[in-house]
């Protein structure tokens, strides 16, 4: 059975305008990762936000989004809020804007940890430090006591990943999680995501096919609000049907990037980077 089943999803923001999304359908197994690629403005973020139930209230959503069998389209916000974090979470492109600049990092992670599970053994603070360590932050106590602006971009993204994983949701939506980072940090974060998302379902949004190919087996190609092609990445690379996909592959220089899910650990290349 599919963990996530999106059927004929459409989203429009204004009466006159053409819907921003049209006829979006895809499925995702329980431990599967699906890449979504497409140029800027093609509807990747709107697709992810629709699954999260985070579109603005004036957005009109039709079609079906089923998460573990439950219909999300039309679900009241108070019920959606209960699912967010617990069953579905999201990692955004720009970690600075997703974090509260006025609050120390440890408290922000702590709020997520405390949100859905009131009774736990051990303190929230201890669990925050465990999560920060788990996402590769080398000095969790110091980082927990820092404000977001005192962290590097890579550290901020690690914090966001900790917040997205902290309640062990079955589905994680990653919206361009490495786009704002420089190349070395990008690799480290990709490796972290590949490790941490191995046992759950994930959607991995990127404009970069080479990035998606490193962490996903299947991909959906979006163009102007529609999915023009989807399937096994290697099959699509070998025989792209849509002209847009053909152009994307021609320019992606994918031959220079290692494919597959079993990336060697970044620590093998850059000793010390993950401890
Ligand atoms: N809140 C909004 N109100 C009106 N239009 C929006 C809103 N959010 C996104 N759009 C439009 O929807 C389309 C898809 O945007 P988006 O999903 O952000 O693209 P991307 O693939 O770059 O993530 C764009 O044309 C964008 O302008
Ligand atoms: Mg986007």
Question: Ligand 2 centre from 49 Cα, in Å?
Answer: 10
Q: Which atom of ligand 1 is nearest to the CA of 56?
A: 1
Which tens digits make up the pLDDT trace of 24-54?
Answer: 999 999 999 999 999 999 999 999 999 999 9
CA nearest ligand 1 atom 17, residue: 43
CA distances from 134 to 128, 156, 162, 181, 275 (A): 10, 14, 8, 20, 9
Higher-pLDDT residue of 126, 274: 126
* Separation between Cα atoms, residue 169 and residue 89, nearest integer Å: 7
> What mean pLDDT comes out for the span 62-69?
97
**Cβ-contact 191, 269 below 8 angstroms:** no
Phi/psi at 227 (5° precision): -90, 115
What is the DSSP secondary-structure string of 166-210? Answer: TT--SEEEEESTTTTS-HHHHHHHHHHHHHHTTTSEEEEEES-HH
Looking at the chain, the domain(s) classified CATH 3.40.50.300 span 4-87+170-269
Provide the token pair at 137: 């932050």
Say which ligand is closest to the CA of 49: 1
- Name the residues around ion ligand 2, CB cutoff 5 A: 45
Question: Ligand 1 centre from 24 Cα, in Å?
Answer: 15
Pocket test for ligand 1, best of 17, 19, 45, 179 (most atoms within 8 A of CB): 45
pLDDT at 257 exceeding the cut of 70: no
Pocket test for ligand 1, best of 20, 21, 228, 248 (most atoms within 8 A of CB): 20
pLDDT at 275 exceeding the cut of 50: no
Say which ligand is closest to the CA of 40: 1
Mean pLDDT for the chain? 88
pLDDT at 238 exceeding the cut of 70: yes
Which tens digits make up the pLDDT trace of 150-167?
Answer: 999 999 999 999 999 998
pLDDT at 87 exceeding the cut of 80: yes
pLDDT at 185 exceeding the cut of 50: yes
**Which band of pLDDT confidence, cut at 50, 70 and 90, is reported for residue 272?**
very low
- Nearest CA to 204 out of 90, 73, 81, 88 is that of 90
Say which ligand is closest to the CA of 93: 2
CATH code: domain 4-87+170-269 is 3.40.50.300
pLDDT at 119 exceeding the cut of 80: no
- Nearest CA to 105 out of 72, 79, 66, 139 is that of 139
**Within 6 Å (CB) of ligand 1, which residues are found?**
13, 20, 38, 40-46, 56
């Amino acid at each position: 059975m599919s963990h996530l089943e999106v059927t004929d999803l459409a989203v429009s923001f204004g009466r006159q305008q053409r819907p921003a999304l049209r006829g979006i359908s895809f499925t995702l197994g329980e431990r599967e990762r699906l890449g979504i690629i497409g140029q800027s403005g093609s509807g990747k973020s709107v697709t992810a936000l629709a699954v999260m139930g985070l579109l603005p209230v004036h957005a009109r959503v039709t079609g079906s989004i089923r998460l573990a069998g439950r219909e999300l389209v039309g679900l009241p916000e108070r019920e959606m809020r209960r699912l967010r974090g617990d069953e579905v979470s999201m990692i955004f492109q720009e970690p600075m804007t997703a974090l509260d600049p006025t609050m120390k990092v440890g408290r922000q992670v702590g709020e997520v940890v405390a949100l859905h599970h009131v009774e736990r053994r051990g303190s929230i603070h201890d669990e925050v430090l465990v999560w920060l360590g788990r996402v590769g932050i080398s000095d969790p106590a110091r980082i927990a006591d820092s404000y977001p602006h005192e962290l590097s971009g890579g550290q901020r993204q690690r914090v966001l990943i900790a917040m997205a994983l902290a309640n062990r949701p079955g589905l994680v939506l990653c919206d361009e999680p490495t786009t704002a980072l420089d190349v070395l940090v990008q690799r480290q974060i990709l490796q972290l995501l590949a490790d941490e998302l191995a046992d759950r379902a994930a959607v991995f949004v990127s404009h970069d096919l080479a990035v998606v190919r490193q962490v996903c087996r299947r991909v959906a190609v979006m163009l102007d609000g529609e999915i023009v092609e989807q399937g096994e990445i290697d099959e699509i690379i070998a025989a792209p049907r849509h002209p847009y996909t053909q152009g994307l592959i021609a320019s992606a220089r994918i031959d220079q990037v290692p494919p597959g899910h079993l990336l060697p650990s970044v620590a093998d290349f850059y000793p010390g980077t993950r401890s």
